[in-house]
A and B are shown apart, each in its own frame.
Chain A
Amino acid sequence: MTAIDPVTVSVVQHRLQAIVEEMGEAMLRTAYSQILNSSRDFSTALTDPEGRLVAQAEHVPIHVGALPWAVKSVHDYFRGRIHPGDVFLLNDPYRGGNHLPDLTAFVPVFDGDRLAFWAINRSHQSDIGGATHGAYNPAATEIWQEGIRIPPLRLYDRGRLIDDVAELLVLNVRHPRDFRGDLAAMIGSARVGERRLQALLAEFGSPTAHAAIEAVLDGAERQVRAVIAAWPDGVYHGEAIIDDDGHRFRDIHIRATVTKTGSDLVVDLSDSHEEVDGFINSAYANTRSAVVVALAYLIDPETPKNDGAFRPLTVITREGTIVHPRPGKPVTLSTNCCGQEIIEAVIKALAPACPDRAMAGWGRRFRIAIQGRDPRRDRPFIWHLFQARPGGGASPVGDGWPGAGEWQAAGGIKFGSIEVAEVRFPLFFLRHEFRPDSGGDGRFRGGPGGDLAFAVEVAEPAVANTAGDGIRHGACGLFGGHDGAPHHYVLRSASGGKRELKTKEAGIVIAPGDMIIAQSGGGGGWGDPAERSLEERQRDETLGFVTGEAR
């Protein structure tokens, strides 16, 4: 290997990071759908030809641990038939996708005539076909009810769009205009990565660039091993509980047994609940991704999250469980649930090994997707709820972040502008503030969740689906800290009636003028509440995060 100086290695490391971030910026700025351009539910990454992760943008952590397998699927399928100008797609969770709405575009990057990298964009589509709008189908009991499944698929051949293939995809989704705009943005984003990678190869020369990348990966591995090595060896157990699967199962457990030896971690999830009927099963790629996220939260934040960083990790699952279902099981909610519960189980397991690093539970996702007709523009619309973020978990250094979201994104998904939402959708937001008394008590308090009220201003009834968890089990407290409050969502009809929304309901009819009140859960508390100072408690009351009546 070419000997390489440390300055070049750091320049290359930061350049790779700058490239994936620029790919992300391009995506954000060009996408059509609200879920992408307002809530940035997408990720960008670079891998080598074999799928080793070289760099990823810090958007949606849960996406990225699954990518290596997806690259392998594409690379193996098209081996020997990959050319400059090609673009490939994939979404199948059983071949490295997370779930069907997460469509991935792969652009091969060539160094001369040799395939050198993949520039990748994984983006959550506003709709991906299937039985219900917006991809989340709580009624689904098999994957074919969740949308169109895309195996490794060639969309461009040497720069030429294969238009019949494109038409097949467009025909199978509900909003073809948005889908086309978003797909163009995804491919553009990956090509921005291709363009900048080629500039990097030209600037440093191929051997130097590749040697620097190896050094970057090895450096990340060293950093992570140094952290893990400082923890006591042992076998650790952690468990998280899911409310239900929306069908026949309740109190569904995820169990992690983590064996730490030297600087290696083996995470065994085999003892988790058997696979379930509803869409909370997590295919293996998504499960591995969730474990990678848990480790990423415990190591030093500045360590680059690449292939090297996760070499110390082995993930063991058993086919037939909720964390490794047999092909065909529905999985759409898995990026949230049971992804977030896998993260929670692993962090709870490792908490005694690294109490100065482990944080209490972040809120769980409870989403709503509404489909209807916008009377202002006389056009159909699909809107996804991202407001009312739940609270962040408290940590050894302080209170949890207010309204920063869920375990699997941890402040990476934004809810976007309410003004923009009102311009683009027939919605009117009456209230969006923090929800008092929702953060779990503790030496450090969990972050408060959100309190949202909005009216749906349609002329004819719209339909909503919910997808989420956590109206019985709140985000977990740690080391004596209390759990965060669970979610509480209500549909209030214009006529005055109201009913509580469940987390996995399909076909909820929203009449014109109906209002949804979404109160999301708070983060878990950290440490014994008796150790919280009087001044901190008074401050909580002054700021209105805790009201007098809660005590």
Chain B
Amino acid sequence: MRYRIGIDVGGTFTDLVAVDEAGRVVHAKAASTPHDQSLGVMEGLGLLAAALDLGLPHLLAGTERIVHGTTVATNALLERKGARTALLTTEGHRDILEMREGLKDDRYNLRMPPPEPLVPRDLRLGVAERIRHDGRIETPLDPASLARAIEVLRAREVEAVAVCYLHAYRDPSHERATAEAIRAALPGSYVSLSSDVLPQIKEYERTCTTVVNAYVGPALRRYLERLAVRLAEAGSPVPLLIIQSHGGVATVADAVRLAAGAVLSGPAGGVAGAAHVARLTGVGDLIPFDMGGTSTDISLVTAGEAAISSDRKLAGQRVGLQSLDIASIGAGGGSIARVDAGGVLHVGPESAGAMPGPACYGRGGERATVTDANLVLGYLDAANFLGGRARLDTAAAEAAVDRIAIALGVDRMAAAAGIHRVVNTRMAEGVRLVSVRRGIDPRRFALLSFGGAAGLHITDIARQLELTRVIVPRLASVLSAWGMLATDLRYELSRTHLGDASVLSADALRQAFAGMEGEGRARLAATRFAGEVRTQRSAEMRYGEQIFEVMVPLDTLAWERDDLVAQMADAFHARHEALYTYALRDQEAVLVNARIAVIGALSPLAAEHRAASTTGSAAATRRVHLGGWIDVAVHDLDGLSPGQVIAGPAIIESSTTTVLLRPGDNATVTPLGWLDIAVQGRSGG
């Protein structure tokens, strides 16, 4: 049997899935180990092997691919715990990073303090060197000046160095010589060159992206190299693949080199999974809602496609690489509740994380979390958490919630209901962020509920937003890990400054693309990929005096014809007109970047249809608090048969998650064994 394994490391849990050729899915869940995530991953792999009745070496030997989403880079940025980073610039230009081209976010908020740059001014050092706009060297790299800068790097014990010289996209020689000198003087330092990371004109984007790369690079390198070694030692014969912010995957070496491309690695798996769900279910408009222990990631899939752009801020930083559009809210099952001096209840962004975890985990946590409130409200079963693999300490949860109740001056149940309600409101605001705030009415979308904690909150959030449909996949808690397995291998290549399109010959154009394609195929081959290869060709073009380019897809051109260049220009004029309502057909069309994506199409991920249940859903009952205490039916998800309809209030449990149906919710079991919930009525308590 051949397996694919997906590994999703979250702030609280590490989720793993193995999928066999028939689409059968086995999953495992281990506590995350933030100080060294690879420990939790290895423990999870052991659990996964056990679930398959295999030894770990056996499982790994039979595995054709391991795809991993990691939050190491994201956390380093969000928590400002990246490497101590220095920035070397052309002398006289050390403030590019902090000048932000003179722009300030939020135009009318003049009372907002300026952000702290990732590299403080005293670690931004000018080096005497200068390349001109046309590539001529005005000032050769001055070794004495560079040596002085390196002495500062040494004295200040920096771990990472970003190097961004003016016009280095034209000629990387000064940056490369600088890197050699730094590596010789400071072996082990992580050096990041702008001419590698984002070899494009416009120094602000290039500098920021290079700095982010250096800032998160050392942590990502330490982690991935350690994990790769552990996997190899455990007998894995296949290279580890890392999911990238753009939703494709890359090898460990490529991911470490382009660390800034892994900033959204964690949540990207969920979005990839959601796009796969859109294909499987035929529901094209989805709001993927991934609620974990620490944070909730929300995005938007329209007509089956997740939005991608290179023009965004990630974790507050400008990163000029392609990435998915994902909003992250600091609220999840482990979010801690507190009452402020004014008597107002807040939930998150502080999280109990994996250690100590919620009070009810009995690991020494004393502060009430969302999970504690859910236990007190009866939504979780203390005796049967995670399919019976863990027991929850109800008394500890009650004691923690009581502390909130006293601070608020209300009883225990009101405090627990308040925590549940406040966190729902925050997450509904997160959905508004990706939809309403962009002028998109969320009401025509279905919420795709996944992540271990989402099921208890999702229909209330849907009601707050007046959404009427919620889809809960069978493997809701591990959809991200599963979704990674549905992505393709993808390499993006580009070639800059081909010049005025009109002076280009069809042959030169064909050769440029063929050269890039060859390079991409070679990289694919290095991952031992042997399947079908697809390409997507495009050009970034503009009119002579513009400075921004339009992306023009080129796959539909007749590449063999002599008028190829004219076809490309026509495609540009048409695209410009479609985007901006007009074209200037008498003007020169400039080709700035030729781009190609070389895609190793992986065999599609099968999904197993559910047979009718043989056990039936022997419904127990449980007392839950929904405004007042009531008894509701408790169903086992595995015991439900396709076509069955469960009316709320009810609880549906599986080994990884619990779904709360409120009054007015009707869940239909789909052929895949998923829940398709119709939500009716207005938001209540």
Q: Which residues of chain A have a CB within 8 Å of any CB of chain B?
A: 7-8, 10-11, 14-19, 26, 28-33, 37-38, 58-59, 61, 177-178, 181, 184-185, 187-189, 191-192, 195, 203, 296-297, 301, 305, 357, 359, 362, 386, 389, 392-393, 395-405, 410-420, 422-424, 428-434, 447, 450, 453, 542-545
- B102/A405 in contact, CB under 8 A: yes
Does A192 contact B545, Cβ atoms closer than 8 Å?
no
Q: Which of B91-112 contact A (CB under 8 A)?
A: 92-96, 98-99, 101-112
Contact B110 A10 (CB under 8 A): no
Q: Are A543 and B120 in contact (CB under 8 A)?
A: yes
Asked whether, in the complex, the Cβ of A297 is within 8 Å of the Cβ of B108, the reply is yes
Q: List 22 A-B contacts (CB under 8 A).
A: A30-B543, A30-B576, A31-B546, A61-B107, A177-B545, A184-B584, A187-B581, A188-B580, A297-B110, A301-B112, A362-B110, A389-B102, A395-B111, A401-B104, A402-B95, A404-B103, A405-B104, A410-B107, A410-B110, A415-B99, A418-B203, A424-B547
Whether B436 is near chain A, meaning CB under 8 Å from some CB there, is: yes
Closest A residue to B92 by beta carbon equals A431
- Chain A contacts of B582 at CB under 8 A? 184, 187-188, 191
A434 contact from B95, B122, B204, Cβ within 8 A: B95
- Identify the 4 closest CB pairs spanning chains A and B, nearest first: A411-B104, A15-B439, A398-B113, A18-B439
Question: Is B443 part of the contact surface with A, judged by Cβ < 8 Å?
Answer: yes
B628 at the interface (CB under 8 A from A): no
The number of residue pairs between A and B whose CB atoms lie closer than 8 Å in the complex comes to 192
B542-557: CB near A (< 8 Å → 1, else 0) gives 0101111010000000
Q: Is the CB of A188 within 8 A of B581?
A: yes
Question: Do A397 and B101 touch across chains, with their CB atoms under 8 A apart?
Answer: no
User: Which chain A residues border B202 with CB–CB below 8 Å?
Assistant: 417, 419-420
- Residue pair B581, A301 in contact (C-beta under 8 Å): no
B80 at the interface (CB under 8 A from A): no
Which of A14, A411, A429, A431 counts the most B-chain CB atoms under 10 A from its CB? A411
Q: Which of B93, B103, B114, B438 contacts A414 (CB 8 A)?
A: B103
User: What A residues does B466 contact at CB under 8 A?
Assistant: 7
List of B residues within 8 angstroms of A16 by Cβ: 439
A32/B546 in contact, CB under 8 A = yes
Asked if residues A402 and B546 are in contact (CB atoms below 8 Å), the reply is no
Is B437 close to A, CB under 8 A? yes
Let me know if B132 is at the binding interface, CB within 8 A. yes
B439 and A19 form a contact (CB under 8 A): yes
Question: Are the C-beta atoms of A432 and B108 separated by less than 8 Å?
Answer: no
- Of B109, B432, B439, B550, the residue contacting A301 (CB under 8 A) is B109
Report the Cα distance A31→B582, complex, angstroms.
Answer: 12
How many residues does chain B have at the interface if contact means C-beta atoms less than 8 Å apart?
Answer: 56
Is B64 in contact with chain A by the CB < 8 A criterion? no
Given A38-B547, A181-B587, A410-B108, 11 more contacts at CB 8 Å?
Answer: A10-B432, A30-B548, A58-B107, A188-B581, A359-B111, A397-B112, A403-B98, A412-B104, A414-B101, A417-B204, A433-B94
Known: A393-B110, A412-B107, A447-B114. A181 touches B101 (CB 8 A): no
> Which one, A203, A400, A544, contacts B121 given CB within 8 A?
A544
B167 within 8 A of A: yes
Return the CB mask of B192-206 against A: 1 if under 8 Å, else 0: 000000000111100
Separation of A303 and B636 alpha carbons in the complex (Å): 48
Name which residue of chain B comes closest to A444, CB basis. B113
> Is the CB of B208 closer than 8 A to any CB of chain A?
no
A398 to B112, CA, bound (A): 8
Contacts of A447 in B (CB 8 A): 114
A416 and B548 alpha carbons, distance in the complex (Å): 12
Inside 8 A of B92's CB, which chain A residues have their CB? Answer: 429-433, 453
| CB-CB under 8 A for A542 and B122, given A14-B438, A32-B543 | yes
- Choose among A184, A420, A430 the residue that contacts B547 (Cβ–Cβ < 8 A): A420
Per DSSP, chain B at the interface is loop
* Closest beta carbon of chain B to A522's beta carbon, Å: 13
Is the pair A419, B110 in contact by a Cβ cutoff of 8 Å?
no
A115 to chain B, nearest CB (A): 19
Residues of B within 8 A of A397 (CB): 111-113
**Interface of chain B residues 433 through 447 with chain A (CB within 8 A):** 436-441, 443
Given A18-B439, A188-B581, A397-B112, A419 contacting B106 (CB threshold 8 A): no
* B581 engages A195 (CB within 8 Å): yes
* Cα of A432 to Cα of B166 in the assembled complex, Å: 12
- List A contacts of B138 (CB < 8 A): 428
Is there contact, CB below 8 Å, between A415 and B102? yes
- What's the least CB distance linking B85 to chain A, in Å? 16
- Contact residues in B for A392 (Cβ distance below 8 Å): 104, 110, 114
| A544 to B94 alpha-carbon distance, docked (Å) | 12
| B133 within 8 A of partner (CB) | yes
A362 CB, min distance to chain B CBs, angstroms: 8
Known contacts: A404-B104, A434-B95, A543-B120. The answer to whether A18 contacts B548 by CB under 8 A is no
- With a cutoff of 8 Å between Cβ atoms, the chain B residues found around residue A389 in the complex are 99, 102
A interface footprint on B121-135 (CB within 8 Å = 1, 0 otherwise)? 110000000001100
- Tell me the nearest residue of chain B to A542, going by C-beta: B122
**CB < 8 Å neighbour of B543 from A181, A415, A431:** A181
Check A401–B543 contact: CB distance below 8 A: no
Q: Is B503 an interface residue (CB 8 A)?
A: no
Query: Closest CB of chain B to A425's CB: distance in Å?
Result: 10
In this complex, what residue of A is CB-closest to B106? A301
Query: Are B110 and A395 in contact (CB-based, < 8 A)?
Result: yes
Which residues of chain A have C-beta atoms less than 8 A from B580's C-beta? Answer: 26, 29-30, 185, 188-189, 192
In the bound assembly, the distance between CA atoms of A179 and B55 in angstroms comes to 72
Q: Does B579 contact A (CB under 8 A)?
A: yes
Cα A159 to Cα B452 with chains together (Å) = 56
Please state if A403 and B99 are interface contacts (CB–CB under 8 Å).
yes
- Chain B residues whose CB sits within 8 angstroms of the CB of A37 once the complex forms: 546-548
Collect the chain B residues with CB atoms within 8 Å of residue A432's CB: 92-93, 95-96, 99
Determine how close the nearest CB of chain A comes to the CB of B587; give it in whole angstroms: 8
| B545 touches which of A32, A59, A386 (Cβ 8 Å) | A32
Chain A residues lying within 8 Å of B114, measured Cβ to Cβ, are 392, 398-402, 404, 447
**Alpha-carbon gap, A420 to B501, bound state (A):** 20
A228 to chain B, nearest CB (A): 16
